[in-house]
Amino acid sequence: MSDINELVGRYIDTWNEKDPAARRAAVEKLWTEDGTYTDPLADVAGHDGVDAVIAAVQNQFPDFVFRPGQLADAHHDLARFTWELGPKEGEAVIVGFDVVVLAADGRIRNVHGFLDKVPAM
């Protein structure tokens, strides 16, 4: 993998992109046509599915932003990294942990997502 930080940066940027056309273009650039995204709350495949999940999360947390977390490493066609979601200033409300499988063209084939921190109920 050429650069894990570059991948994480583009991933975070895509989750923060709220313009529908720009977000869709970013999803197409980042995921393969049959690419998947699975986390405890979502399980989708394809650009439509991934884009819809990102839009739904953005609508659920309109004042929050995504940022890279503390962990990022990679080997072979695999990467793992954490990300944070929260207000622009202050502590993260949600911390996610994603393992990503890349296709030969460098795009994402699978996101296996887990949650390290969720809001208290």
| HSE (side-chain half, CA atoms, 13 Å) at 107 | 16
Is residue 78 near a second copy by the rule CB under 8 A?
A: yes
Q: Which of residues 25-64 bind a second copy (CB under 8 A)?
A: 38-40, 43
Out of 55, 97, 103, 117, the only residue in the binding site for a second copy (CB under 8 A) is 97
Is residue 117 near a second copy by the rule CB under 8 A?
A: no
Which residues have C-beta within 8 Å of that of residue 34, sequence separation ≥ 6? Answer: 45, 46, 109
Nearest CB to a second copy, comparing residues 34 and 77: 77
Task: For residue 1, give the 3-state DSSP assignment.
Answer: coil
Out of 107, 109, 112, 117, the only residue in the binding site for a second copy (CB under 8 A) is 112
Nearest CB to a second copy, comparing residues 1 and 65: 1
- CB 67: neighbour CB atoms within 10 A? 15
Which residues have C-beta within 8 Å of that of residue 106, sequence separation ≥ 6? Answer: 2
Footprint of a second copy (CB under 8 A): 38-40, 43, 73, 75-78, 80, 97, 99, 101, 110, 112, 114
